[in-house]
Structure 1
Amino acid sequence: MELLRTEGKEGRERESKFVFFRLGSEMYGVDVRYVRSIERLGAVTRVPHSPPYVRGVMNLRGSVIPLVDLRLRLGLPAGETSERTRVLIVNLGDKEIGYIVDEANDVRDLTEASVEPTPEVAKTERARYLAGVARIGEELVLLLDLTRILNEEETQELEEMR
């Protein structure tokens, strides 16, 4: 995934838009190209025999959306849902998936200079999902590559829940 795909004009840095959200105390970002909408978490219907990171499905304006608890998928401890809990509705090819996050903050531009590769010290299990790290003021933002969160087989299992 090319993080900063927009060609800058001469003398200007390339930049791309990212949706920023929190999981616990950590800030994450994903490329806005994949995010169709940000929704409140509605009623969830549990699906029997689904993996632990699959919370269930939700009805969104007549469409059944499979929901992935991003905390659990990334190996973080489960969190409580609150009024701030949001669902990132993501389009990956012809598949639509909802990723549950603690709160979705905003959409921001990131310049090429603000994005760095994932540091070696951060090479944990979670690192395989990372596309890089950005610095926003004093805070580090972990940039997720949404195409790596689920493999093809897992994506197909979610599709079958629809």
Structure 2
Amino acid sequence: MADVNNSLAGSWVTDEEETKKILKERALRLAKEPEVPIESVSSLEVLSFMLAGERYAIEARFVVETMPLRVLTPLPGVPAFILGIANVRGRILSVMDLKKFFDLPENGLTDLHKLIVIRYGDLEVGIVADSLLGIRAIPQDSLQPSLPTLTGIREKYLAGLTDEGTIVLQVDKILADERILVNDEG
């Protein structure tokens, strides 16, 4: 038994030069970039927020800014999902309630609600969120196209669903909806 222990102990002992060589090889292996093609890992940067107890997200490239919803001036003669207008740093913006737009349950507005200013082309609009969850990246290949539980108007504007159930919306389709543009002729 003593012979086995001595032979094993001797096999683990290396000289200082060999130890440096091994450590350098390990460091080089660990310092290498992962070999994943960049094209195959495209991700979508989104702003996540809450609406009626559900998580929603929109592409961050459409978001101009976010802020607390402070002063809102109601407007007569507009669709129910247009809550009114707000002055945002000197710009007068229409404020849209996605809960009314998507026929979701609503609890009224409080000073805890957030305003998300979005822009698509020349159109800039504020949308109301119950709360903001933050910006994150979602791998595009992880988005599911739809679920049978998402029917009606929300499905029309759906970009996809994440694995954890976040509903990713298409801002360009929402802002291109004919109900958004108010025609004052007539």
Normalising to structure 2: TM-score of the pair?
A: 0.73
The number of residues matched between the two structures is: 149
Q: Which amino acid aligns with 1:32?
A: A
Structure 2 residue aligned with 1:141? 166
Highest relative contact order (Cα 8 Å, sep 6+), 1 or 2? 1
Structure 1 residue aligned with 2:68? 40
Stretches of structure 1 lacking an aligned partner (at least 5 in a row): 1-7
Mapping of residues 11-90 of structure 1, within 5 Å: 13-90=41-118
Structure 1 residue aligned with 2:150? 122
Give the direction of change, closer, same or farther, for the CA distance of 1:39–1:127 in structure 2 (3 Å limit): same
Post-superposition Cα deviations, 1:88-132, rounded to whole Å, max 9, x if no partner, equal 100010110000111111000001232111124423332112111
Give the direction of change, closer, same or farther, for the CA distance of 1:12–1:54 in structure 2 (3 Å limit): same
Equivalent of 1:91 in 119, 123, 127: 119
Which of structures 1 and 2 has the bigger CA Rg? 2
Matched, 1:108 2:136: yes
Higher share of residues assigned strand? 1
Q: Quote the offset at 1:151 in angstroms.
A: 3.8
Matched, 1:154 2:182: no
Higher share of residues assigned helix? 2
Paired residues of 2:48 and 2:58 also in contact (CA < 8 A): yes
Distance 2:38 2:114 in 1: 38
Q: Quote the offset at 1:157 in angstroms.
A: 1.8
Paired residues of 1:71 and 1:79 also in contact (CA < 8 A): no
Give the direction of change, closer, same or farther, for the CA distance of 1:119–1:106 in structure 2 (3 Å limit): same
Q: Which amino acid aligns with 2:100?
A: L
Distance 1:147 1:157 in 2: 17
Post-superposition Cα deviations, 1:53-72, rounded to whole Å, max 9, x if no partner, equal 11000001111010001110
What's the RMSD between the two structures over aligned residues?
2.1
Stretches of structure 2 lacking an aligned partner (at least 5 in a row): 1-35
